[in-house]
Amino acid sequence: MDNAVSNDVAGVTLACPVCDDGRPLDVLRRYERIGLAELRYCPRCYGFWVAKDALSHGVADENEGHPALLAAVGPARCKLCFGHIKPDGACAKCGAPPRTLTCPGCSAAMQRDLRGKLWLDTCASCGGCWFDTGELAATYRLVPPQGLAMRKIDEHATDRDLPLWLQAIGILARVFLPLR
């Protein structure tokens, strides 16, 4: 775990509010954009805890390939039976009521707020926010990094998109240098 550093804040260990085992949150190292607060994630469920000002300078540099940042948003599932969650937050399979998360920062009950198309858990007491798996990537439109060569290649280009002199060289090469 090279991205993990001390997960204590003022002597208090921050724990994942989603994982039932109280798993400690790791710090996501950000080299190019350093915010006032650290960005923390759960290495098990890839959820993110964002303190009030942790995203004031962005999420991460464009070459960051951390799997927690690039996880996709999946369908909401019940923690008890793994059934689908209805729009009201209750489980469609077992009928369990919507689950209220406990804030990792101040231990207050978090409320669910609709932001765009996503329901995010926010804390009115400390201003923190919990992003479930993939919600941070969806909110900030993060995409997997590509190498320099992939950024320069147009996958849909055709020979007709090339200059005429380069098209002529391609035709002559095929005539005089046939593939074996």
The pLDDT score that the predictor gives to residue 3 is 40
Give the angle 103-109-110 at the CA atoms, nearest 5°: 70
Backbone angles phi, psi at 138, to 5 degrees: -70, -40
The pLDDT score that the predictor gives to residue 60 is 60
Task: Give the position of tokens 């890839």.
Answer: 46
The pLDDT score that the predictor gives to residue 28 is 82
pLDDT tens digits for 127-170? 999 998 888 888 877 776 655 555 455 556 666 667 788 778 87
Q: Are 94 and 100 in contact (CB under 8 A)?
A: no
The pLDDT score that the predictor gives to residue 72 is 80
Of 18-22, 108-112, 132-136, 151-155, which range is least confident? 151-155
The pLDDT score that the predictor gives to residue 16 is 92
The pLDDT score that the predictor gives to residue 75 is 79
pLDDT tens digits for 35-92? 557 789 999 888 999 888 777 766 765 546 778 887 888 777 787 788 888 888 889 9
The reported pTM is 0.67
